[in-house]
Amino acid sequence: MIRAHRERFNREFTEARYQSFVKKVESRCGADIHFRLSETPCFFPASLMNRLIQASQTLIAQLLDNPVYMAAANEEVPPPFRHTRPETRPTFACVDFGLVTNADGTTDGRLVELQAFPSLYGFQRMLGETCREHDGFPALSPYLGGLDADGYTALMRSILVGPHDPREVVLMEIDPLQQKTLPDFVVTERDWGVRAVDLNAVERDGARLFYKRDGVRTPIRRIYNRVIPDDLDRHKRTWPFPTGADLDVEWIGGPDWFFRISKFSIPWFKHPWVPETHYLSDVTTLPEPREDWLLKPLYSFAGGGIIFAPTDEQIAAIPANERRHYVVQKKVTFTPVIDTPHGPTQVELRIMMVRDGDGYRPVLPLARMGRGKMMGVDYNKGLAWVGATAALIDTSL
């Protein structure tokens, strides 16, 4: 996106330099990386990032400040995930955009999806810092909202730990040592003292929860939830305690918000950056041409279950009473804006935010590069200069 930075990086790139970068990332996070890291960071002007931030904040506000929407969204939360002490507003909000180039040469975003679920707040910061140091761009920033390394560390400590002893805050996940996001868990414990624990290692004693930390039975005051609800079925797991129980514990990233802010939200938006989207239950005849449309389940994660150009047979296979859990969305062709030795490449940008009063403060961008139908690994197998990367921001532009 910034020609001078891009030309310099491409000119200086070597495969040995890339391998050195991957080793440095693994060394810094203390875990092997089991997803693809792109060969390059992405370079963006602050002016574009500010427009993406403004759109993100507008979209989140359109939902949380709309009582009609919130009533409908509350009905989407399955009874097992309803809390007696929920977050009044989600602690985390992440909005994903693809980039499109307009006829006049300007760049806009188009909404891909959004979530009120934690992202890689530990790993992504470390990745951005490593990119700018390893690749020699110390003047560029991996942060949003005027933050620097110290400011980000302090802010996230207040979000994750709050007034508690960090030993009494847990990052709860399913088999955390087996997750691809393990590098993020390791960094989270190193930077803020919050340890990842398996959800079935949490013990209930009346209204209180405990876990074993280094052999010591330790009370849990706050749960940093990283359990994706639809993963429970996939792993054949259940919650070890009722989420609706009157427990003496705080939640951040509670599973109820996974349902309230999701693909379910998209048909409610009024914004030029949001592609036309309808609940499948509201569609009597699927729009033509089919190649222009996608069928998406509401609560899948990481792009799971998306069907391109859905056929009548694929629609008919979905029972009528399940169609409210799907949307049909007009496909947007993103512009390949990153010049690489393998050709122009698309990028998807996530604006990662945390709650700030009744609003949301941007803290980090997350970038994923791809040349397949989608950004996920399954759509980019065998390709180079694709994968997870950092967005480095030139604050002078």
Please report, for the chain, the start and end positions of each structural domain, with discontinuous segments joined by +. Answer: 3-275+332-394, 276-331
Instruction: Provide mean pLDDT across the span 213-242.
Output: 90
Which pLDDT tens digit goes with each residue over 156-174? 999 999 999 999 999 999 9
Instruction: Provide mean pLDDT across the span 48-77.
Output: 97
CATH architecture, range 276-331: 2-Layer Sandwich (3.30)
Dump the DSSP string for 165-195: -GGGEEEEESSGGGSTTHHHHHHHHHHH--E
Which pLDDT tens digit goes with each residue over 41-51? 999 999 999 99
* pLDDT reported for residue 376: 64
* pLDDT reported for residue 304: 65
By the 10 Å C-beta count (0-12 exposed, 13-18 middle, 19+ buried), 389 is classed as: buried
Q: What is the rounded distance in angstroms from the CA atom of residue 38 to the CA atom of residue 369?
A: 7
Which pLDDT tens digit goes with each residue over 278-317? 999 999 888 889 999 999 998 775 556 889 999 989 988 9
| Residue 282 burial (CB count, 10 A) | 11
% of the chain surpassing 70 pLDDT: 96
Tokens of 309: 């150009």
pLDDT above 60: residue 347:
yes
Which pLDDT tens digit goes with each residue over 104-151? 989 999 999 999 999 999 999 999 999 999 999 999 999 999 999 999
pTM for the predicted model, two decimal places: 0.94
pLDDT band at 229 (very low <50, low <70, confident <90, very high): confident
pLDDT above 70: residue 53:
yes
pLDDT band at 79 (very low <50, low <70, confident <90, very high): confident
Instruction: Provide mean pLDDT across the span 73-78.
Output: 92
- The region of weakest confidence among 108-112, 220-224, 335-339, 369-373 is 369-373
Query: Which residues on adjacent β-strands are paired with residue 369?
Result: 347, 387
Tokens of 304: 């799971």
Dump the DSSP string for 90-153: -SEEEEEEEEEE-TTS-EEEEEEEEESS---TTHHHHHHHHHHHHTT-TTSBS-STT--HHHHH
Instruction: State the average pLDDT for the chain.
Output: 93
Instruction: Provide mean pLDDT across the span 83-87.
Output: 79
Which residue blocks in the chain are alpha helix, DSSP H? 3-12, 15-29, 46-64, 67-76, 123-134, 149-160, 182-192, 229-234, 255-260, 312-316
Contact 99, 51 (CB under 8 A): no
